[in-house]
Amino acid sequence: MAFQLPDPSTPFGERVAHRLREDHVIWFTTVDAKGTPQPNPVWFLWEEATSTVLMYSQPVAKRLAHIQQNPRVSLNFEGDEYGDDIIIIIGEARVSPDAPPADEIPALVEKYRAAIARIYGASDEMEMAKQFASSYSVAIRIYPEKIRGFL
């Protein structure tokens, strides 16, 4: 059975759908060879058609070795100042060599346009996106299996 988001007509389901679309950073946690969780803030794109999360990594990032050793991961959204609005997604991560480069995904480029400009400082948007795609050249897809949280 394929993963399904919580019913968007419920308050929790609506919040999950909103945060997957609108948030810019999610905490991606892998586990290293010693079993120590390794959380990292990452940019991501919710792929609604496949119910997967797409992110890109630098090829030297340790997370790639962690995924190869143990593909079990979690994604966590920041809570609010009271510890509410918690959303945790558990699933499996896989390097996705068939994914196009990041600069060829219009939704990703649009979502992170301002951040990419701040980091790369080029005046040409296409050039900035190409620089980002060159630095973050390894696509990772997360296949969610469970979701939990509370408002």
Asked, for residue 123, whether it belongs to a domain, the answer is no
Model pTM?
Answer: 0.94
pLDDT at position 151, please? 82
Residue 107: CB atoms within 10 Å? 13
Q: Are 87 and 76 contacting, i.e. CB atoms less than 8 angstroms apart?
A: yes
Determine contact, residues 101/133, Cβ cutoff 8 Å.
yes
pLDDT of residue 72: 98
Domain assignment present for 142: yes
With 0-12 / 13-18 / 19 or more C-beta atoms within 10 angstroms meaning exposed / middle / buried, residue 61 is: middle
Residue segments in the chain with a per-residue pLDDT below the cut of 70: 1, 122
What pLDDT sits at residue 61? 98
75 part of a folded domain: yes
Does 128 map to a domain? no
Q: How far apart are CA 66 and CA 68, in angstroms?
A: 5
State which H helix or E strand residue 29 sits in. Answer: strand 26-31
125, part of any domain = no
With respect to residue 29, please indicate whether it lies within any of the assigned structural domains.
yes
53 found inside a domain: yes
CATH of the domain at 66: 2.30.110.10
Q: What integer pLDDT is reported at residue 82 of this predicted model?
A: 93
The sheet carrying 86-95 orders its strands as 37-42, 26-31, 72-76, 86-95, 138-150, 52-57, 45-47
pLDDT number for residue 122: 65
- What residue type is assigned to position 40 of the chain? N
Helix locations, 40-95, DSSP H: 62-69
Instruction: Give the pLDDT confidence score for residue 2 in this predicted structure.
Output: 73
pLDDT attached to residue 1: 58
| Count of structural domains, the chain | 1
Structure tokens at 70: 């143990």
Phi and psi, residue 103, nearest 5°: -70, -10
Bridge pairing between strands 138-150 and 52-57? antiparallel
Q: What is the extent of the structural domain holding 24? A: 11-100+137-150
